[in-house]
Amino acid sequence: MSTITDSTEIKGRKVFFLHPSATVQNHIVTELAQQEFEVYVVKDHKALWRVLREYTDAVVFADIDEVMRDAEWEKWAHDVKETLPDVAVGIITTNKDEDLRNKYINSVKVHFFTAMKSDIHKVIAEFLEILKTVNAKGRRKYIRATMEHETAVTVNLPLNGVFIKGVIRDISVVGIACSLETDQILPKNSFFKDVQIKLQTALLNVEVIVFGSRMDGETKIYVLLFTQRIDSEAKTKIRKYIQQNLQRKIDAELKAVPPPPPKPEAKPKSEDEPEGEAKPETEAKPEAKTKPEAKTKA
């Protein structure tokens, strides 16, 4: 039964890069985040396997040049495809061998096989086309990050000659939702310039328009939209923060998922098995005797 739901069509799909090389992580993942894809880096294939059971419509690009042998990667990809058929599995490698490509595409049945090229811009364009094919963005245009217990993500709103400090609750390149230290009356469509936003170590100076407010329990939440004059550098910093925020959350999920219980040791159930286990011991005895003799001769 397919797990591609209406929610997937609206929100899009998580995109995991498994054991990416430095080039993939520093250039491709970074650029895809700037293109508003929800991308993650994972360096534990066993933990990812378990997390994928929660995100059964995800997209995974596995770098088969890293960590495991080809046969192990082949089995890993095959198991994911068999167990989670709606996960789109792609292969990344520097190996341009056509036999390898045909094996993964025709036998393992992965969705994509990408042989890295020296022109990184062409590679990025290839990944963008792949993600478009699987509708990784869905119908959403922007990625939003929510803040839980983050004290270094704040806003300073200039009002009547002073700055009113607030805490950002969520952010995208379109705007923020925030709470302020003191209750304020901010009429809809009010315009503010020189608004200071702090995203941990990144500092932004933007213009905003008040979209409205709502109550979250006893706290008033203000929704502020950035004006069209927000510069590209500010957008880059916001997207970078969002990607880091989402990465921290998936890292926590990967650590929280318990590993499978260890397999019990096999116990001999027939008379043949003890005899088979005794052979290595018999063969090992002469070796144990020859080692002391070698030391005596030395």
Q: Which tens digits make up the pLDDT trace of 33-86?
A: 999 999 999 999 999 998 999 999 999 999 999 899 999 999 999 999 999 999
- Region 136-142: mean pLDDT is 93
Q: What percent of the chain has pLDDT over 70?
A: 84
> What's the chain's average pLDDT?
87
What's the pLDDT score for residue 289?
44
Of residues 271 and 254, the one with the higher pLDDT is: 254
**What are the tens digits of pLDDT across the range 227-255?**
999 999 999 999 999 999 999 999 999 99
Q: Write the DSSP string, 176-243.
A: EEEEESS-----TT-EEEEEEEEETTEEEEEEEEEEEEEEETTEEEEEEEEPTT--HHHHHHHHHHHH
Of residues 280 and 82, the one with the higher pLDDT is: 82
Map out the domains of the chain with their CATH numbers.
Answer: 6-133 (3.40.50.2300), 145-254 (2.40.10.220)
What's the pLDDT score for residue 170?
96
What's the pLDDT score for residue 2?
56
Q: 25: which 2 tokens?
A: 């992580």
Q: How far is CA 273 from CA 267, 269, 282, in A?
A: 9, 7, 15
What's the pLDDT score for residue 159?
92
- Region 157-173: mean pLDDT is 94
Q: How far apart are CA 285 and CA 178, in angstroms?
A: 74
φ/ψ region of 56 (left if φ > 0, alpha if ψ in -120 to 50, else beta) reads: alpha
Q: How confident is the model at residue 290 (pLDDT cuts 50, 70, 90)?
A: very low
| pLDDT at 279 > cutoff 90 | no
What's the pLDDT score for residue 5?
60
**Choice among 17-21, 30-34, 54-58, 266-270 with the minimum mean pLDDT:** 266-270
| pLDDT at 297 > cutoff 50 | no
